[in-house]
A and B are shown apart, each in its own frame.
Chain A
Amino acid sequence: MNFSIVNILFLSIFIGFIADNSEVDYLQIIPGTVEKVEMIYLPGGTFTMGSPKSEKNHFGDEGPQHEIEIAPFWIGKYEITWDIYELFIAREIDSKKPTEVLGDEVSIEVDAVSGATQPYTDMSFGMGIDGYPAICMTQLSAVKFCEWLSAMTGNFYRLPTEAEWEFACRAGTKTAYSFGDDPADLDLYAWYEGNSKGAYQKVGKKKPNPWGLFDMHGNVSEWTLDQYIPTVYNKRKRKTVSNPRVIPKKTYPRAVRGGAWTDQPSRLRSASRRPSSKQWKKRDPQIPKSLWWHTDAPFVGFRIVRPLNTPTVEEQKTYWN
């Protein structure tokens, strides 16, 4: 995560290519700051989503397995950290947005993007800020972060769908984890209940998956765009589905992936799905409860994606509400 100033300047030259949708990894600089989001290019393809009944700790909602076709996209190499997320909470850099943003995919006014409220208490629970993953945000808050970052940069960002997330997590593998089936190897790749010492850890400290993505298993579980429907895979049996997206009709439950520092190894499997819940705001002492914070979900964070083929302006809005 530590790039020298020279590196940042050097790499930012390449951002110029992004407007042409060059199919390479890049660094998204956040205007007016030294913060950046590293984006990894995934050329898309087909994969088998879900897990077989024979997989240890398989849950009913992970089957039946089915074929999915995924269009090319970029995905964050790391979970979004507090360093970056705090810029969105503070919204003090909005005025530093360059008059000509580098991307041309999005044209929205940054001051039209809703801002998250300040949390009443310390939402990092003392587990660390610099280089640590942001947590406790609602899905709405994560979605609005994407809209804000899009407005600031001109590039279209959003959360991944469940299918995109699992495609990226598996990175071409069919095993329970992207490194194989043996949870004994988890220590090399992930933070979970067994090694987290009761707190999340800095992003990018374990080994990446085969496509260079860090912490897809563990550390913090990650928001997706989709409504959580346990039986949704039934409808996809025996056909190849392209880019499925389960547009939410209700606030709860929505799908969270990857498992967290609080979890047993089985919850970190590539196919494992978790529903969000109203209980995640249990200890918010206010009514109405915050739209922006889950007081009781110190295990949930997110990473962002950017599709190669930019949706229309109208479609874009549907990803941000």
Chain B
Amino acid sequence: MKFKQNNLLSRRNFVKSTTLATTGILSATIPVAAMANVNGDKKLKLALVGCGGRGTGAIVQALQADENTELVAMADAFQDRVEKSLKAIQEHFDGVKKIKVKPKNLFSGFDAYKKAIDMADVVILTTPPGFRPYHFEYAIQNGKHVFMEKPVATDPVGVRKVLDVARMAKEKKLNVVVGLQRHYQKKYIDILERVNDGQIGKITGGQVYWNSRGVWVRARESKQTEMEYQMRNWYYFNWLCGDHILEQHIHNIDVANWFIGDYPAKAQGMGGRQVRNGKDHGEIFDHHFVEFTYNTGAVISSQCRHQPGCMSRVDESFQGTKGSANMRYGELIDLDGNAIHKYRSGKSTKSSKPSSSVANPLNEPNPYQVEHDKLFASIRNGGVISDAENGAKSTLTAIMGRMATYSGKEITWEQALNSNLQLMPENIDWNSNPPTMPDSKGLYSIPTPGITTF
């Protein structure tokens, strides 16, 4: 174990420094003179790349985070998406803020992102995750601050690109926030501080969950090419989405990495598609169960399921040498089950007039807004938030889990990190075929444990 010590320590230190950045301590240490692409009080131009519901939500939060901002360009593979998104943004700010984007700055197609990014100071990257490494690379090469949604890639080749670009972003002193919003959520920050203080001892194991009904399906329409169909129904195709163990469950897996202060040494697991296995469900599984083992010997059981009518749980729990932590309740207990701490949000019902707000465990600052507030404050103050490296490594952790469930083999961190698996083509246009194609019955090849290689 000893020879691994250095590696372990450096990973641990890295994760801890991310915590500092998100709580705003790090930003104070960067001298203003060293800033690149900053900006005390100039008007910041924003571009949105990826105009779905989440992208539209993210740009609204960005525009709300800083008064002196302007949306100048929008890009999406599909023109109708761009237009729908602009309309929704305008409706949201109706009577509050004028949103005007010149029609010539509404871009569509696979290379639309370049045109939009060129025009901006800060870019919001919210396309399906397969595209993220390329969009992130272009944005950083061109000196832009970035908010990008998780996950940040769908394959190890993409993860390595994001890691390279993350280093470049740091050198250029560009801010990068990744939408792993639990890092910006008071409850998580509060409990993590206590875990780091040793209140439950050293973490030896845990469970992370995203068990829910599943998400939307966009059925095939007549006249669609295969490329257009997959781009619309992207959740079910791995080159675009990476499977739900990555696309959603990364949130919980990332919390395990964050709390343990390291990334797992290996993973093994199982999965399949039992319920969600129709023609419009592409190639992804509907359940995965993975055991992630860390260098300390800590084991995290990760389960994610997209099956209606079953137990639902989106949560994280950790067991330590002196007690345990549960994130849903935001509580710590000792080894005898006695309460050590319970997280309380700020608000309560003790108001003297009827109010819509109630004291409930969910009543705390909106982390989706906080992540943008911190990003723009950091840009204004000459700080550097560097979420991309952790974003890439947590992305890789989930990919490692997927490689394990698809192949049925044990996968080490190094195998995943150095893998040549590349799902996302480097060049793509509307005339090309997607990397995965249906058979004559309209069905896709499904990963098969024991047969599928990683």
Contact = CB atoms under 8 A, between A and B. Distances in A.
Please determine whether chains A and B interact with each other in the same assembly: yes
A121 interface: yes
Interface string A240-275: 000000000000010000001011100100000111
Contacts of B350: 264
A253 B209 CA distance: 35
Nearest to B350: A264
Given A86-B309, A118-B213, A286 B354 contact: no
A282 interface: yes
Contact of B367 (A59, A198, A283, A298): A283
Nearest to A62: B354
Contact of A118 (B52, B89, B210, B216): B216
Contact of B212 (A122, A263, A280): A122
Interface stretch (B12-20, B170-178, B358-366, B402-410): B358-366
Interface stretch (B53-61, B72-80, B158-166, B281-289): B53-61
B214 A263 contact: no
A121 B212 contact: yes
Interface string B199-214: 0000000000111111
Contacts of A280: 356
A285 B357 contact: no
Given A253-B356, A273-B354, A287-B56, A282 B366 contact: yes
Given A125-B362, A129-B311, A129-B312, A59 B368 contact: no
B91 interface: yes
Contacts of A129: 311-312
Contacts of B212: 119, 121-122
B308 interface: yes
B314 A274 contact: no
Nearest to A130: B311
Given A117-B216, A118-B214, A122-B212, A198 B57 contact: no
Contacts of A279: 356-357
Interface in B190-229: 209-216
B86 to A, nearest CB: 11
A219 interface: no
B328 interface: yes
Contacts of B349: 193, 262-264, 267
A275 B356 CA distance: 6
B66 interface: no
Contacts of B210: 122
Q: Which of B56, B88, B329, B357 has the most CB of A within 10 A?
A: B357
Contacts of B58: 285
A299 interface: yes
Interface string A277-296: 10110111111110000001
Nearest to A60: B353
A120 interface: yes
Interface residues of B, number: 46
B92 interface: yes
Dominant SS at the A interface? Answer: loop
A198 B308 contact: no
Nearest to A273: B354
A88 B349 CA distance: 33
A287 B60 contact: yes
A260 B360 CA distance: 10
A153 interface: no
Contacts of A123: 312
Interface in A82-107: 86, 89-90
A51 to B, nearest CB: 13
B53 A126 contact: no
A58 to B, nearest CB: 11
Contacts of B362: 125, 283, 296, 298
A310 interface: no
A59 B213 CA distance: 40
B313 A122 contact: yes
Contacts of B312: 122-124, 126, 129
B358 A285 contact: no
Nearest to A253: B356
Contact of B213 (A119, A274, A287, A298): A119
B356 A286 contact: no
A289 B367 CA distance: 16
Nearest to A117: B216
B216 to A, nearest CB: 6
Contacts of B309: 86, 90
Contacts of A275: 354, 356
Nearest to A276: B356
Interface in A211-250: 230
Contacts of B60: 287
Contact of B88 (A287, A296, A299): A287
A287 B53 CA distance: 5
14 contacts: A59-B354, A122-B312, A125-B328, A125-B362, A126-B314, A129-B312, A198-B329, A230-B354, A267-B358, A276-B356, A280-B356, A285-B54, A286-B54, A287-B89
Give me the 3 closest cross-chain CB pairs, A-B, nearest first.
A277-B356, A286-B53, A122-B312
Interface of A: 59-61, 86, 89-90, 117-126, 129, 193, 198, 230, 253, 260, 262-264, 267, 273-277, 279-280, 282-289, 296, 298-299
Given A119-B212, A126-B312, A263-B359, 19 more contacts: A120-B215, A122-B211, A122-B212, A122-B213, A198-B329, A198-B361, A253-B356, A262-B360, A274-B355, A275-B356, A277-B356, A280-B356, A283-B362, A286-B52, A286-B53, A287-B60, A289-B57, A296-B363, A298-B362
